[in-house]
């Protein structure tokens, strides 16, 4: 059963709680499909009046902010050993390469890594715990966390909600085939962009490694 089909079978209150909980756990550092749940719920809100998009956006934003804050507290308390344990348990998400890439982002961008990391699936999981591990001042983290969480969760809800309304009106004049093609185009574009971003990050990570591996030139003999 598709996620959206399943969401249609449960009450609106349960959807609000589910969205806040899943996004909160993902922000805390547990790899969960928070973005998929949010998008599916926002699309459902555009098609059914029982789900209020405003309440949905508030629940999603709250889950993101609270989850990130808990992740920060856990990371600050657990330190580097916590990342090592997570790497053993979730090697796909918390492998050495991913952690190194996230650490470079934090060292380069600071609190902006927390803000913009909300829009990147990998950094969305890392942001809270890693900010705590690196002892980022909490007031900086909190500002970036609040604004990033509201903009990502609220913005995603609003965009998908209005896209769903436009798509539904468009479907009345055209067909389901058009929507399927539009969705496929959007998903393909997103995957291509993410793939390019990953390749760029990998290339950036290889440059310091290659520089470190190159032997120093021998001193010239006089």
Q: What is the pLDDT of residues 38-91, one digit of tens each?
A: 888 888 888 877 889 999 999 999 999 999 999 899 888 877 776 667 666 666
Tally of CB atoms within 10 A around 40: 21
| H/E run at residue 47 | helix 34-47
Long-range contact set of residues 79-86: C-beta below 8 Å, sequence gap at least 24? 79/133, 80/133, 82/129, 82/133, 83/129, 83/130, 83/133, 86/29, 86/129
pTM, rounded to two decimals: 0.67
Mean per-residue pLDDT over the chain, rounded: 76
Say which residues have a Cβ less than 8 Å from residue 129's Cβ, sequence separation at least 6: 28, 29, 71, 72, 74, 75, 78, 82, 83, 86
What pLDDT is stored for residue 177 in this prediction? 52
Q: pLDDT digit string (tens) for 99-156?
A: 777 677 777 777 887 888 788 777 777 788 888 887 888 888 899 999 999 999 999 8
What count of residues does the chain have? 222
The answer to whether 37 and 80 have CB atoms below 8 angstroms apart is no
Q: How far apart are CA 81 and CA 174, in angstroms?
A: 56
Residues 95 and 35: beta-carbon distance below 8 Å: no
Q: CA–CA separation, 60 vs 76, rounded Å?
A: 24
Given a cut of 80, whether residue 13 has pLDDT beyond it is yes
What is the per-residue pLDDT for 20?
Answer: 94
């Amino acid at each position: 059963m598709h996620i959206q089909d399943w969401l249609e079978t449960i009450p609106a209150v349960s959807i609000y709680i589910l969205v806040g909980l899943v996004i909160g756990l993902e922000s805390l550092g547990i790899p969960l499909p928070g973005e998929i749940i949010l998008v599916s719920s926002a699309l459902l809100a555009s098609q059914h009046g029982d789900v209020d998009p405003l309440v949905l956006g508030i629940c999603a934003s709250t889950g993101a902010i609270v989850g990130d804050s808990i992740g920060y507290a856990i990371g600050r308390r657990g330190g580097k050993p916590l990342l090592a344990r997570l790497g053993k348990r979730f090697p796909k998400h918390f492998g050495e390469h991913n952690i190194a890439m996230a650490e470079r982002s934090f060292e380069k961008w600071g609190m902006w890594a927390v803000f913009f990391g909300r829009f990147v699936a990998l950094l969305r999981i890392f942001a809270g715990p890693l900010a705590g591990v690196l002892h980022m001042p909490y007031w900086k983290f909190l500002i970036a966390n609040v604004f990033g969480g509201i903009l990502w969760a609220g913005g995603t809800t609003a965009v998908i909600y209005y896209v769903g309304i436009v798509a539904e009106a468009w479907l009345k004049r055209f067909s389901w085939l058009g929507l399927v093609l539009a969705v496929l185009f959007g998903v393909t574009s997103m995957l291509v962009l993410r793939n390019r971003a990953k390749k760029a990050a990998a290339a950036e990570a290889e440059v310091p490694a290659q520089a470190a591996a190159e032997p120093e030139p021998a001193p010239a003999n006089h």
